[in-house]
Structures are given as C-alpha cells and as structure tokens.
Structure 1
Amino acid sequence: MNARLAAHAEVDEAPSDLDLLRRTLAARVYEVARETPLEPAGLLSTRLGNRVLLKREDLQPVFSFKLRGAYNRMAALGTAERANGVIAASAGNHAQGVALAAAKLGIRAVIVMPVTAPQVKVDAVRRFGGDFVEVLLAGDSYSDAQAAAARLQAERDLVFVHPFDDLDVIAGQATVGMELLRQSSTPLDAVFVPVGGGGLLAGVASCIKTLSPQTRVIGVQADDSDAMARSLEDGTRVALDEVGLFADGTAVKQVGALTYALCRRHVDEMLRVDGDALCAAIRDVYQETRSVPEPSGALALAGLKQYAATHKLQGKTLAAIISGANMNFERLRFVAERAEAGEQREALFAVTIPEERGSFRRFCAALGRHNITEFNYRIGDARQAHIFVGVQTASRDERAALAAAFRAQGFAVLDLTDDELAKLHLRHMVGGRSPLAQDERLYRFDFPERPGALPDFLARLHPDWNISLFHYRNHGADHGRILVGIQAPADEHPTLRRFLATLGYPHCDESDNAAYRLLLRS
C-alpha cells in the first residue's frame, strides 16, 4: 500500500514543508536532549544481506525520543503560560519528557497516566520531574488518561502539552530525521519509523522527503494498534475501538489530524508486525547493543526485517529508529519465550503416538538432530500418548518437513506454532483432562493488569456455573490473560453468552479449538 496514494477524504491542514523545516532547524531540543548515534548492526547486516543501521533514541536522558518534542513545545511557552503550568496525558514516555522539561525550565506540570502504565515509567516520571511534577493515575488506557487530563485542564487553566498532534512537538521529533541524514555516510535507501499517534513519523517523514526525496520512509505499527495504517488506507482518520497493550508506547486509538495529514503527504508505506516479531526484534537489539528496547522501541526494526525479507532486498542501506527502552523487567520473561517464534526458529507440535513399545524410539527418530526446546507429556490413556513438543527450526519449510516426518512414522500431528491459545496457555497445562469436566465450555479473557484486577474478575463470575478449569499467568505486560472452563449444559448456553457479554472483558470462545480438544477435553 502506497500511503501517499490514499484517497484524500480530509482537508490537508498541515504546514508547508518549508515551514516545518524552518521549525525543525530552530528547534531547541539540544538544550536537554542529545544527538544520538547511528550505529551499524553488524550481525543483522550479515544475516539480512543489507547494511542495517540503528538510530539509538533509547540513549536519550529519558530513554526515549519523546523528550525532543515535549521540550521543544514547552520551551516555546510564553511567560503567562509558564506561570500557569502545563498538563499532559501519557502512557509513559511522553510523560517522562514533559517531567524532565518541567524540571529544566522550572514549569509546574500535572501528568495524567493510565493505571496500566508500567511502573518503571511512573517511577521515572516522578524522578525526572521532582518537585515540579504532580503524577495522577486515571483509567485503563491513554484515551482514559487524556479525558481526565482534559477535565483538569479546564478546571485549572493549564496548557495541554499534546504527545503528538502539535507543530512544535512534531518539529522536535523531526530533528531525528535531520540527524539521520547527516550521520549516514551513504545515502539511505529506506528509513523505518515506529508509529503510535504519528508525531515521530510525521516529523521524520517531512524532513527526509524534503531533503532526500529518494529515501523511502516506512511506518511500522503493531498489528493490534494500527490506527495510522488504517487511516491512510481509508483516506480518513480511523478511531479504533480497542488497542493492544503489549507495545504500550504506541497504543493509540486515533492518530492526530496534523500527523495524519503530514503522513498522508510523505509516508511511502505502512507495515504491521505481530507480537512475536517484536520479541524477536527486541532480542536482535540486545544482541547488537546489549541494550533492551521496549516493545514499541523495537517496532521499526521488526518492520525492517519483515520488509527486507518480503522484498528480497540485498545491498541496501536501511535505518531503523530504536525509539525507547523503558521496559518493565518482568516482561522479559514473555519476550524471551516468544522471540524464537518471532524468528520462526521454534515449531510447536502436539503429536499422538501409540502407547506401545518402540513408539517413543520412532518419535525420536522423526525428530532427528533437532534441538528440543520443550517437551510435555503425562499418561492419560491406555492406548495413546499425547506429547507437546517444541523444536528449534530454521524456517517454515523445516517445520513442514518435521510434521511430514512425524506422519511418516504413522503419528497424528497438530502444528501449534501459530496457535495463540497453545502458546499462551496449553503448553503449561498438558495432561489436564478430567472425567469430571462434563459440559465444559472454554473461554479466553483479556483484562487490564492493574492492582486488584484478578480478584475483581473472580468476583464477577456467576456463582450458578461451576469453574472446571482456570489458568492465569502474569507476563509482566499491561493486560492479563485468563483461560476459564465453565460447566454449562447445552440448554444454558444462551444464558451463559448473555452473562459473558455483561462482564465487560474482551473474551473469545475456545471450546472448538483443536489443541484444546486434543490435549485437555475429556
């Protein structure tokens, strides 16, 4: 999709390219931000057959590029505005930029953050802002925090410092693009930029397309928070009903009017990547730099890898903006677990073999010399054994060959590599059949991970139905995942569905999931 060819359903109200370039050149970001290095990624360059460069915005004083735009906006305030103070809403990185800018400029700031914001970011806001900053927690999402901030702004007559839809903010972020062009010793063939509300993409794209029009500018979003991609495809700003929370720094339901207009004018293409690809990109950055970006910080690199593979690029110079490193330590467990899947280096199978002598030997023969990453088995049937196995692989073709090798031995095999239920829950629950679990329906729930969230969920479950299965694991993410088995006879299913609709939690009926039927259901 060429974003610049999308239908122009909205009036382009963005400033001229020359005006934005002037604003960028006059930006005061270097009073507090630093010019971050553009580093070669040697391992990735060799692996991908292209020259890969990493723009290290994770090395800013607040570990994110957001400081540039926040400071540039606040430095432009008049005397009366500074005296009144400012207010901002943010899931974390913009909040840290506003906090540090407030302390540097001596401006009082109120910062509203969702209760789901990672604790590392909340603590950092308080640390950077010191006595100049008041932190308030409100709502489960950035949109909730923004609504609360709007109410306080009116009550206290404060200046709202927008995280992306403001010309001074966009000009501040555009300095990243200016640095990229100056720092690269060879012309850049493509620059990959992470996208939430669009401030960074709008600024970088405007700068690069003005000064180096032959360089492709490609935005990258999480596939469950793709407001900019959808907006450019539809030719008008799209508001998402829900956004994913793994890449919390870019979890925005609607992009800005200014950022949309600028991206529509300058962005060549938008890409979507999934959570597994993000985890793999986080590991890539660690292997290259020994630093750990947050999920949003690795978006651009995940997109770069996807783009290079899809277009079979060779010998090109590709730059990815590593936009932030405010990662909750507890989340690393989930990242490590899913990074192999993101690189297609791990295949997951459920294999059924006869409970007879020689079967296990034949199973091992089918595996060959592959490294086993996971193996779960528990006897539950006198005739058959169901094995959950993880195997290191190099490609999808190797995964298909493994499945064929199992079938050649006469074993039934179910490929679970792309099955989200299996990867999140069932891998930890193999052997969990029970003859007592009659009339069981299986549901997967998502809920905001905040203090008291799990007890709140349990309290809202209906006492008339028995809970026959319950699995929950805290991944250190911003939303929790629960798997629940509810015993309800067929004639009660309509009542059950109505009840689930009143719970207020996103849920999915997994009762017909093939892996569940094979490994858990009686």
Structure 2
Amino acid sequence: MKIDLKQLKKSIDRVNNYNVVKKTPLQKLDQLSQRFDNNIFVKREDLQLIHSFKIRGAMNRFSKLTKKNLSNGVIAASAGNHAQGVALSAKKIKCRAVIVMPEITPLIKVEAVKSHGAEVVLHGDNFAAAMAHAFELAEKEKLTFLHPYDDLDVIAGQGTIGKEILDQFNKPIHAIFCCVGGGGLVSGVAAYIKSVNPKIKVIGVEAKGAEAMTKSLKANKRVNLKQVALFAEGAAVKQVGEHNFELCKQLVDEMIVVDNDSICAAIKDMFEDSRTVLEPAGALALAGMKQYIEKNKLSNENMIGIASGANMNFDRLRFVSERAEIGEQREAIIAVTIPEKPGAFKSFCEKIGKRNITEFNYRYSSKKNAQIFTGISISDPSEVKSIINSLGAAGLEAIDLTANEMAKLHLRHLVGGRAPQAKNELIYRFEFPEQPGALMNFLGHLNKGWNISLFHYRNHGADTARVLVGIQVPARQKQTFKKFLSQLGYPYWDETENPGYSLFLGN
C-alpha cells in the first residue's frame, strides 16, 4: 500500500475543526523533569471535550461525509474514546450514531457516549468482536462505518497534534512519544513530524500483552494477536490498521512495551505534577518515555509525551495506587521467615532500620517459625539485595517477591486464616499515627511475654494507618493488657467478639 506523505501532510495542514476541537496546551512536568534530569512535557489531550484526542480524527472524518453518507446514520466500534468522538460529532450535525462497544468497556465511557445521544450496543469481550458486529449492523441497517484508526481522514485528524506541537515548541525536540493501539495517533503524528523535521524521533508505546504494532513491525507484516491484555483497554487491539502499519513501518523510530506497574507509576507521576488522573492508555506515552530515558541514560533533552486520555473508571484507582509504588521501584515486596517467639517481630523491624514499612501481613501458624509478607519503601532497587543480606546475616531467611505477579495480585490479600494454636488470643484494631517510629513505639510498649499471633497493616497514604493485631495474653494478665492499651495512646477497638473474626480467623 503506497501512501503519499506529501498529500497526507497537506491534509493535516488543511484540517480545521477548532469549533469543537481544542488546541491543547503543552505542559512541562517540573517534578518529573527534575527527577529524570530532562525537560519533560506533555501534550494535554485529556483536556479535550471528551477527555481524549479521538475527537480530532472523528471530527475530521465527519467533515468529509456527504449527505448520502449521513442519511441513515453512522456506526462505529470502539473501546470508548473513539466512540465519544463519533457521538459528539454526530450530535453537532444532528446525525444518528450507533456505537458498538466491548462488554468490558468501563462504565464511565459507556455513559459518556450515551450522554451525547448515541445508541450504544454492548457486544463481545474484546474490540475485535465489537468491530465484527459493527460491520454486520452497518450492512444490515445501511449505516456508514467510521473506522477508529485505519482511515486516512482519521489519521490526518490525529496528525494535527504533531502540527500543534511544532507550533508551540520552538526548541530542539529529542523525541515525541505516542500511545499505540490501532496506530491512528502515532501514524498521524509521525506523518507530520517527519515531513517537517525528520531529526525528531517519533516513538510508539504499547502495553505488555497488547503489543500488536511492535510484533507486526518485527514480523514485517500485520500480526493478529490471539489474546490481548485489557488493562489499557483504550489501546487494546488484536490487529493494527493497514494504513497505520505502513506509515509506522516508514516513519516510527522505535517501539517500547511497558508493563502494568510502569503504567500505574506514570499515572501517579502525572497526578503528582498536574493533579490530573490519566486512564491507563493515556499514560502509556509517559511510561514509555521514562523507560527510554533510563535505558539510554539521557540528560538535558526535550521530551514530549502525548497524554492521550483521562476516561478513568474510579474503582480502578485502587489497583493503580497499589501498583504505582512497585512500578516506580519505590516499594519492595519481601517474604521473611522469623522464629515464632516473643520479640522476633521487633528484631525483624530493627533489621529493616529506618525504612518505612508499607505493608505487613502475618498470621501465627506453627510453634517453630512464622512467615511474614511485607512491603518496604525503597529509594533504589539495589536496596532490596542489601535488605535481604542484612536479614540473612541475622538468621532470617528472606525472598524477594517484588516481581512476583501472584504475590502482588493475590497473596498480599490472602495471608492469614485460622490458627488453632493461638491460645488466649485477643484481637484489637488500632489506628497508628502515620509517622516514623509508630510501629516501634507499639512494639516497645508490648509486654515481652506476649506473642503477636496476627498482624495486618497497610499504609494507604492517610494520616493514620489502620492495623489489625492478634496478641496472646494469658487470662491472668488482662489487667496488665488494659494498662498497656492506656499507656500506648493510640485509638483502639476490641474485635475479639467480632463475628468476622469468629468466622474466618478464630479458633
């Protein structure tokens, strides 16, 4: 397939949809720039009316349609953002729009499409299934199909981002980073940038498990993925477009693949610098940029990433928060075996030193040893080996689980169970002040003869940490225990009679 680059560049120059499309700002991320010793900018496409760049391509495609094309209405298949672009464009010209979306599409995107008056059809468990169904409906109802990325008018619309970047930034640019799903954004931006200044690198970024373009370029043909990871659902396609593949083959300098932890870390980076929450696909460019800078050991370069979308489901933020610290390599997950005896837990904490413990899961299981699942704040990945060596020197066996998916996804929430051996167990819930030394203060007040039989703690960034503790206290020492609670000074609640404890943790 031969694509005339000069003609495509002219098409991009002629696009004029600024009655709906915003010329989005180019914003410097000061904190991230300082951290990575480069000048890092983001093109704020999350500020479009639909919180995504997709409005550009959709509006430009609509501008080329005839009255005959529009007579019965239009149809599109989309995981969300293209759907919103088509729905809003159709609303502006009072045209019927039918949108087929995968059943796994976040509710925020479904509701946004409906709010623009479009008819939503949920079909299939991935974009490919939705696309096939859209083709069927288009033929059945004589609707004009609008492709989300494999269309030169759509590509030209997305290419206006490249034009705006060059208009807004008059200093040398080392590289521009684009998220890649079907390839509409990166091929449009690359077509314009390379036509004007071939020295600027254009780099595509894909999510691990959805790297259709990366694999296609390596194979020199369009690859059809058997399965596609859906965390970054806005960029999750099984096969890239024909036009997009041809343009990327000619123009894109490099492809980068990032994992979910890196995406979560990039979402956090963007929030810390701009108080904006990007969706996973919207943070791909930033995640790829960070990886590129570290890999190539660059400094003092001007880097631009396209923040392509911010249609984030609120309930996904829990996962993002959980994984961001690991993605930024600021948290290590370690399993430690300690002797089951009073004072062992305190000894373990002393070996960790002044590092902040972000999580601690422990349940008494035998009279000999105890297994601890813990999260520890680190400033550099090299610290993990030092921590494990320090624990080993003290006779505490430790295993690094930071890269263990099962541990990060499931094990941290499943540590525990019943402990028949935990006699005279009292269960108390505490609120620790979220400050260094709070845990050691608790352990320092604890009677040396009392055994901790359960401990669950997770730092969620609040001003207090919520902690559940099981302590084996002989009946004759109940008054001494009450004195301990009084002297500790932390808010506490007796949960020993809690039915949840009886059902899942009690003897």
TM-score range normalised by the length of the shorter chain: 0.7 to 0.9
Structure 1: stretches of 5+ with no match in the other structure:
1-12, 436-522
Aligned counterpart in structure 1 of residue 221 of structure 2, from 236, 244, 254: 236
1:54 maps to which residue? Answer: 42
Equivalent position SS for 1:239? coil
1:258 maps to which residue? Answer: 243
- 8 A Cα contact 1:14 1:262, kept in partner: no
CA change 1:14–1:380 in 2 (3 A) is same
Aligned counterpart in structure 2 of residue 134 of structure 1, from 114, 119, 137: 119
Shift of 1:16: 1.5
Query: Letter of the aligned partner of 1:331 in structure 2?
Result: R
Query: Letter of the aligned partner of 1:377 in structure 2?
Result: Y
- 8 A Cα contact 2:155 2:188, kept in partner: yes
Shift of 1:357: 4.4
Query: Letter of the aligned partner of 1:188 in structure 2?
Result: I
Is 2:23 the partner of 1:23?
Answer: no
Shift of 1:189: 0.7
Distance 2:374 2:99 in 1: 47
Distance 1:312 1:209 in 2: 24
How many residue pairs get aligned? The number is 420
Listed one character per residue, the Cα deviations across residues 182-225 of structure 1 (whole Å, up to 9, x for unaligned) are 11131211000000000000000111011011101100000110
- 8 A Cα contact 1:196 1:249, kept in partner: yes
Is 2:58 the partner of 1:70?
Answer: yes
1:204 maps to which residue? Answer: 189
- 8 A Cα contact 1:82 1:107, kept in partner: yes
Distance 2:404 2:419 in 1: 23
Equivalent position SS for 2:172? coil
Is 2:130 the partner of 1:145?
Answer: yes
CA change 1:433–1:232 in 2 (3 A) is farther
2:68 maps to which residue? Answer: 80
Listed one character per residue, the Cα deviations across residues 424-474 of structure 1 (whole Å, up to 9, x for unaligned) are 111111134899xxxxxxxxxxxxxxxxxxxxxxxxxxxxxxxxxxxxxxx
Distance 1:416 1:277 in 2: 17
Distance 2:352 2:96 in 1: 63
Distance 1:357 1:332 in 2: 38
1:119 maps to which residue? Answer: 107
- 8 A Cα contact 2:365 2:419, kept in partner: no
Is 2:306 the partner of 1:316?
Answer: no
Distance 2:223 2:63 in 1: 32
Q: TM-score, normalised by structure 1?
A: 0.79
Distance 2:394 2:87 in 1: 63
Equivalent position SS for 2:193? helix
Query: Letter of the aligned partner of 1:196 in structure 2?
Result: G
Distance 1:359 1:285 in 2: 41
Aligned counterpart in structure 1 of residue 149 of structure 2, from 147, 150, 164: 164
Query: Letter of the aligned partner of 2:182 in structure 1?
Result: G
Distance 2:17 2:10 in 1: 14
Q: Tell me which structure has the larger Cα radius of gyration.
A: 2
- 8 A Cα contact 1:192 1:320, kept in partner: yes
Shift of 1:14: 4.1
Aligned counterpart in structure 1 of residue 390 of structure 2, from 384, 397, 405: 405
Equivalent position SS for 2:335? strand
Is 2:24 the partner of 1:36?
Answer: yes
Equivalent position SS for 1:106? coil
2:404 maps to which residue? Answer: 419
Distance 2:8 2:405 in 1: 44
Aligned counterpart in structure 2 of residue 304 of structure 1, from 289, 302, 305: 289
2:486 maps to which residue? Answer: none
2:461 maps to which residue? Answer: none
Shift of 1:396: 1.4
Distance 1:14 1:285 in 2: 38
Equivalent position SS for 1:321? strand
Is 2:178 the partner of 1:190?
Answer: no
Distance 1:361 1:84 in 2: 73
Shift of 1:358: 4.3
Query: Letter of the aligned partner of 1:166 in structure 2?
Result: D
Is 2:93 the partner of 1:108?
Answer: no
Equivalent position SS for 1:309? helix
- 8 A Cα contact 1:28 1:71, kept in partner: no
Equivalent position SS for 1:29? coil
Shift of 1:291: 1.0
Equivalent position SS for 1:84? coil
Structure 2: stretches of 5+ with no match in the other structure:
421-507
Query: Letter of the aligned partner of 1:82 in structure 2?
Result: L
Shift of 1:359: 2.7
Equivalent position SS for 2:41? strand
- The residue correspondences of 1:304-453 to structure 2 (distance < 5 A) are 304-432=289-417
Query: Letter of the aligned partner of 2:166 in structure 1?
Result: L
Query: Letter of the aligned partner of 1:67 in structure 2?
Result: I
Shift of 1:267: 0.2
Distance 1:88 1:358 in 2: 64
Shift of 1:30: 1.6
Query: Letter of the aligned partner of 2:186 in structure 1?
Result: L
Shift of 1:284: 0.7
Stretches of 4+ aligned residues off by more than 6 angstroms: none
Q: TM-score, normalised by structure 2?
A: 0.81
- 8 A Cα contact 2:363 2:419, kept in partner: no
- 8 A Cα contact 1:164 1:197, kept in partner: yes
- 8 A Cα contact 1:164 1:199, kept in partner: yes
Distance 1:74 1:420 in 2: 44
- 8 A Cα contact 2:123 2:130, kept in partner: yes
Distance 1:253 1:425 in 2: 28
Shift of 1:356: 2.8
Distance 2:90 2:341 in 1: 71
- 8 A Cα contact 2:176 2:303, kept in partner: yes
Equivalent position SS for 1:249? helix
Query: Letter of the aligned partner of 2:106 in structure 1?
Result: P
- 8 A Cα contact 1:29 1:69, kept in partner: no
Listed one character per residue, the Cα deviations across residues 29-52 of structure 1 (whole Å, up to 9, x for unaligned) are 323111000011111111100000
Query: Letter of the aligned partner of 2:24 in structure 1?
Result: T
Query: Letter of the aligned partner of 2:200 in structure 1?
Result: T
- 8 A Cα contact 2:356 2:376, kept in partner: yes
Query: Letter of the aligned partner of 1:85 in structure 2?
Result: G
Tell me the percent identity: 52
RMSD over aligned CA atoms reads: 1.2
